[in-house]
Amino acid sequence: MRWRALALAGSFAVLMFATVLTSCRSQPLGAMEGGLCIFRKPTFAFIFADTRPDLNETTNSISLQATPGETEPVSFGVLPQRRIENATVQVSDFKGPEGAVIPASAVDARVTQVWQQRAPRGKDFETITVPEALLKDDSLDFLDPRWTETNLPSCPPDAPVRTDFAPDQAKQVFLIITVPPDAAPGDYVAQVRVGDPAQPASVELKLTVLPFKLRGPGYKICMFYNDNIGAEVPLSLYRARLAYMRSMGINGLRLKANRQTLDQEIREIKAAGFEGPIMLLDTNAYFGPQGLEDMAFYVDTLKGAGYDPYIYGVDEPNVPGIEPRKPHSLNGQIAVFSRIKQVGGLATTALSVITDRILTDQYHQVLDFAQYSLHTDPDLGFKSYVQSLDTNPTRRRHPLEGYYFTTAFENPRRNRLLGGFYLPNSRMQAVTFWTLYSYHQKGVPRIFDDFALPDGNKKRWMTVFPSREGCIPTLQSEALREGVDDLRYLNTFLEMAQEKGEEMAPAAVDGLRRQVMSEVARYRDYGSTKPEDRTASQFTDAQFDQSRRVVVQAILKLQALSPGG
């Protein structure tokens, strides 16, 4: 009997496994419209060709919520039963309350491309296959040798989606919805038609527009950005990339300073709405009399535009005892700090807490903006420093402090955590993302191809992919957007709670504030940043979404309080 029971149990397990693999085929015909199975996984889940939905994931309806003016992504998987060439993704207008309409142009539909590249770090930079770029046409080959700094691929944001579906090969459709700023609150419905235009599958897209607008993130959100206006980056392209970063909630930049183009770039940055800090890096200005003159020019230009004059020193100067002109030289940073102060600038750079202590304690050089490495290694000291601030916030060492991290790792959940709810838990005032994109070594053909780099142990760092029209988004960049929006939701609640507390007794909002901050406090530990890149593995996408809902519900309850309604 025991063996028979085990055999029956084994047969049942095999049957259930087979049912999961073929769940789409077991659904009612409505779920197989157009020869496609539509399924919903978390927005930033990796969907590969062999991905299969769980039993409860097949659907023909997808819901999301957003505020007026907010950009919110959502995705779904498509599993075809038959080959469909020249498949499309078409979205109708949203129909809302009392005849309100959100136009179809509010939805940027894309497909996720799966391709090979080097792993971020780790043993031998091994090859990995990863879903990454969000394209209009996923036949675009990033490994094509044609692509150079002056010959970028084209991906117009208003182009229609075009892709091919192969039998039993899953793909991910990504929808980036930008709610008009004047959209009326309420429930809206649109239809998404996917597949063969003559016989598409239909997905109902339900959008709830919330009855409030988001405020700023309440923190300095910065990006390392390396373009200069010129032949390679004409003005229209520069503006497009600035607009993309602003749409992500980025309000500060670190630039590579170019004296010939700086006046125009700062004007464009100001017009695009960047609040600062704006930080200027020019390694040629570190030494020599002309460099000192250039630094003075940078300081005057920033001040003239109303920005604090931050000069970025030696990058990651964590290596003592080497020649000052070498990269990462601590001796170089010691020399550069004095030059920055000589011309009236504010000093900033990215470094470890341990290096910062050497600069401040031994050389009395206090940075105006310290940007700390997030590494967990005990000798770098960031976690210990955060713990000391938990005990005594007055121990802060600098006027402005933040952390920085690499946003091009293929880990969207990591980006949402570190670009979002981890920041208020860190007691830092800023975060800096590295980097929008980097060719790592310019002048090497095949600018997106990790395997074309001559030394064989490098990676092209792409949070977005540069194109002729601006930026091609990725799972990484959209997850960053979500993280910054998590901060915007939180700050909207905190500012509204402060205002309500001034209108009424503070006790009326204290309970809501405790509830929200208790929810956000779960994101205190960012986990490991080792080469295996396990950061944020302790959190699920569902947890992030639930935390967002907790904050939204608290905001709605604040609005319902009287007086002020």
Residues 56 and 190 placed together within one structural domain of the fold: yes
Residues 237 and 325 placed together within one structural domain of the fold: yes
- The percent of residues above 90 in pLDDT, for the chain, comes to 76
SS3 call for 524? coil
Give bridge partners of residue 111 from the DSSP assignment.
135, 173
Residues 544 and 427 placed together within one structural domain of the fold: no
Say whether pLDDT at 565 is over 70.
Answer: no
Residue 313 in any domain: the answer is yes
Say whether pLDDT at 479 is over 70.
Answer: yes
Residues 201 and 160 placed together within one structural domain of the fold: yes
Residues 269 and 331 placed together within one structural domain of the fold: yes
The residue segments making up the domain with residue 115 are 23-209
Query: Quick one: three-class SS letters along 376-419?
Result: CCCCCCHHHHHHHHHHCHHHCCCCEEEEEEECCCCCHHHHHHHC
| Mean pLDDT score, 306-330 | 95
Residue 475 and residue 44 in contact, taking contact as beta carbons nearer than 8 Å: yes
Residue 92 in any domain: the answer is yes
CATH at residue 54: 2.60.40.10
Residues 65 and 173 placed together within one structural domain of the fold: yes
Report the pLDDT value the prediction gives residue 526, as an integer from 0 to 100: 85
CATH at residue 257: 3.20.20.80
Final residue of a structural domain among 209, 238, 255: 209
Under DSSP, the state recorded for 157 is T
Residues 198 and 254 placed together within one structural domain of the fold: no
What would the pLDDT profile of 126-135 be if each residue is shown by its tens digit?
788 899 999 9
Give the contacts of 537 (CB within 8 A, at least 6 positions apart): 413, 527, 528
What would the pLDDT profile of 203-248 be if each residue is shown by its tens digit?
999 999 999 999 999 999 999 999 999 999 999 999 999 999 999 9
pLDDT band at residue 121 using 50, 70 and 90 as cut-offs: low
Report the pLDDT value the prediction gives residue 456, as an integer from 0 to 100: 65
Report the pLDDT value the prediction gives residue 10, as an integer from 0 to 100: 42
Residues 256 and 399 placed together within one structural domain of the fold: yes
Residue 542 and residue 555 in contact, taking contact as beta carbons nearer than 8 Å: no
Return the C-alpha torsion angle 373, 379, 383, 384, nearest 10: -130
Residue 449 in any domain: the answer is no
Report the pLDDT value the prediction gives residue 537, as an integer from 0 to 100: 81
Within 10 Å of residue 534's Cβ, how many Cβ atoms? 13
Final residue of a structural domain among 139, 174, 209: 209
Residues 244 and 179 placed together within one structural domain of the fold: no
Residues 197 and 236 placed together within one structural domain of the fold: no
Residues 305 and 164 placed together within one structural domain of the fold: no
What would the pLDDT profile of 244-290 be if each residue is shown by its tens digit?
999 999 999 999 999 999 999 999 999 999 999 999 999 988 888 88
Report the pLDDT value the prediction gives residue 529, as an integer from 0 to 100: 62
Residues 406 and 527 placed together within one structural domain of the fold: no
Report the pLDDT value the prediction gives residue 175, as an integer from 0 to 100: 98
Say whether pLDDT at 24 is over 70.
Answer: no
> For the chain, how many structural domains are there in total?
3
